[in-house]
Amino acid sequence: MSEEDVIDLAALGEDFARDPHPVYAELRARGPVHRVLLPEGFTAWLVVGYEAARAALCDPHLSNNMRNAKDAGLTDLVADAPNMLMSDPPRHTRLRKLVVREFTPRRIRALEGRVQEITHELIDAMLAQSEGRADLVTDFAYPLPAAVICELLGVPFDDREKFHDWSTQITKRLGDGGAEAAMGELTGYLTALLEDKRARPGDDLLSALVRTSGEDQDALSTEELVGMAVLLLIAGQETTTGLIANGMVALLRHPEQCSALRADFSLLDGAVEEMLRYSGPTGTSLHRFTTASVSLDGVVIPGGGELVLIGNTPANQDPKRFPDAGRFDIRRDAGGHLAFGHGIHACFGAPLARLEAKAAVRALLERCPDLALAVDPATLIWHPSVMMRGLTSLPVLVRPTAPVA
């Protein structure tokens, strides 16, 4: 491809951040893979078709290890924080095995009561606001997963704002120096916290990971523990926040769907899957890099560390896989969506995210029967990130005194 073929996503401005789907639809009509310039300044190959994305997520020549990037600027961010998401087999296989044996269904089920409790506490606080208004991001969609992940990991909840700031910097400011500084601060904090877990272990996941050992007395090193804690904290907060907020926007913008769900909560599981498909929290997978040439639906991406972004959001809107894909329909069979990825790097925290989302959506609809957007949806501000799809705020009316147009 020539330089003229490179599509400058930053030049598309706020309209693209607010609603990337028309651009992705145009790109899909031209082909499943395109050369793009990211807002962070890096050039990448963007996969927008469903079948090409699914194939790319399983391609062994696409590495998650940023040290395989030809652009050295991409490697500094994670040099001191290795984790399974940024590793390839056999290291990935080993790390995932050690973590999954502690991140068990039983541990997740044990959180269910606490998730419900936190959910209702947050709604109590929203309903108590005198103006009858709330910010569904800052008052609910962020603090819920933040509290849950802090409790799961054994992180002091009083430090949650620090983690929010760090995770926002890391996931949404890649390339401008802010992400690297935030990663350094987060790594230092977690290193000290893990030392405390060694001295005073508890029943939390980080304590369990400190203790865990696999076959042949294999165990996570301090560097690996820090990297895993970084992954769990960021993934456990940012993506679930986006799932809840983005999903509620979709639901509130489709009142007939919202009414149907209120009337029949047996639709809840399917509604959450459709939220994930229609407007999931990740625009693309984490960065991947070619270790050899890769052919995707006739497009050959060269080897040598080319940056590849696999588009979860555009793939989930591919009408070849999901007929009438631009329609939000909680009764749709959304199975097979790529919001949690696919292949060996599929999100192992998906059951916890689904648990939180279902608790959040049901409680909001039950306890806030007149819940409505407080602003024109066109004025909502979305983070200018291709990789993460999320809102900076979501003003809602929790006790509107009059119908809102």
User: pLDDT by residue (tens digit) across 148-177?
Assistant: 988 898 888 788 778 777 877 776 555 556
For the chain, the average pLDDT equals 88
d(CA 326, CA 313): 11
pLDDT beneath 50: ranges in the chain:
1-3, 77-80, 215, 400-405
pLDDT above 70 coverage of the chain, percent: 92
pLDDT for 161: 76
Q: Tens digits of per-residue pLDDT, 324-340? A: 999 999 999 999 999 99
Count the Cβ atoms, other than its own, within 10 Å of residue 219.
14
H or E, element range at 223: helix 222-234
Question: Residues 314, 318, 322, CA angle at the centre, nearest 5°?
Answer: 130
- 349-371 pLDDT, tens digit each: 999 999 999 999 999 999 999 99
Which pLDDT score is estimated for 401? 41
pLDDT at 404: 40
- Predicted pLDDT of residue 1: 41
> Rounded CA gap, 315 and 48, in Å?
5
Whether the CB-CB separation of 99 and 228 falls below 8 Å is answered with yes
Q: 77: closest CA among 34, 40, 36?
A: 40
CA 99 to chain centre: 19
- Tens digit of pLDDT for each residue in 39-75? 878 899 999 999 999 999 999 999 999 889 998 666 6
381: which DSSP letter? P
Given a contact cutoff of 8 angstroms between Cβ atoms, the answer to whether 84 and 96 are in contact is yes
Q: CA–CA separation, 279 vs 230, rounded Å?
A: 25
- For residue 177, the model assigns a pLDDT of 63
Distance CA(387)–CA(310), nearest Å, equals 9
Please give the domain boundaries of the chain with CATH numbers for all domains.
3-397 (1.10.630.10)
- Would you state the pLDDT for residue 172? 58
Contact 43, 6 (CB under 8 A): yes
**pLDDT at position 405:** 38
